[in-house]
């Protein structure tokens, strides 16, 4: 099974950019669909975007489409989330997740999760 660890979070001003990374252990990374979720205080965890096994299929929440980009490097066992034009409402803990079903946005469909990295966007 794969273990996940996020990095790259921090404090940024509105309009700025951050790049999150999620490093996976194990040899089966390329067999997983990967996704990013986020959770703001007092709110439910919400889907941000996902990427298929080879990276050929990408899907995003409407709230981040055009601003966020997911990519993966299977040789490095890493998935990335490039976040541009950040808004205060993007603030939250960002989690990467691994699953088996492509184009699914439900947290319950992902069975491996990282510990999360905090992203704070100031206005």
Q: How confident is the model at residue 113 (pLDDT cuts 50, 70, 90)?
A: very high
Q: What percent of the chain has pLDDT over 90?
A: 93
Report pLDDT for 17. Answer: 98
The per-residue pLDDT for range 48-102, each reduced to its tens digit, is: 999 999 999 999 999 999 999 999 999 999 999 999 999 999 999 999 999 999 9
What pLDDT was estimated at residue 26?
80
pLDDT at 27 over 90: no
Q: Mean of the pLDDT values across residues 23-30?
A: 89
Residue 86, both tokens: 């950040």
Q: What percent of the chain has pLDDT over 70?
A: 100
């Amino acid at each position: 099974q794969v273990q996940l660890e996020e990095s790259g979070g921090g404090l940024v001003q509105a309009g700025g950019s951050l790049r999150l990374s999620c490093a996976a252990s194990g040899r089966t990374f390329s067999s997983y669909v990967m996704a990013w979720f986020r959770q703001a205080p007092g709110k439910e965890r919400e889907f941000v975007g996902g990427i298929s096994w080879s990276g050929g299929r990408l899907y995003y929440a409407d709230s981040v489409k055009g601003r966020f980009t997911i990519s993966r490097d299977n040789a490095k066992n890493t998935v990335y989330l490039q976040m541009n034009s950040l808004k205060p409402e993007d603030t939250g803990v960002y989690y990467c997740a691994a699953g088996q079903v492509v184009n699914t946005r439900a947290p319950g469909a992902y069975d491996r999760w990282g510990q999360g990295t905090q992203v704070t966007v100031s206005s």
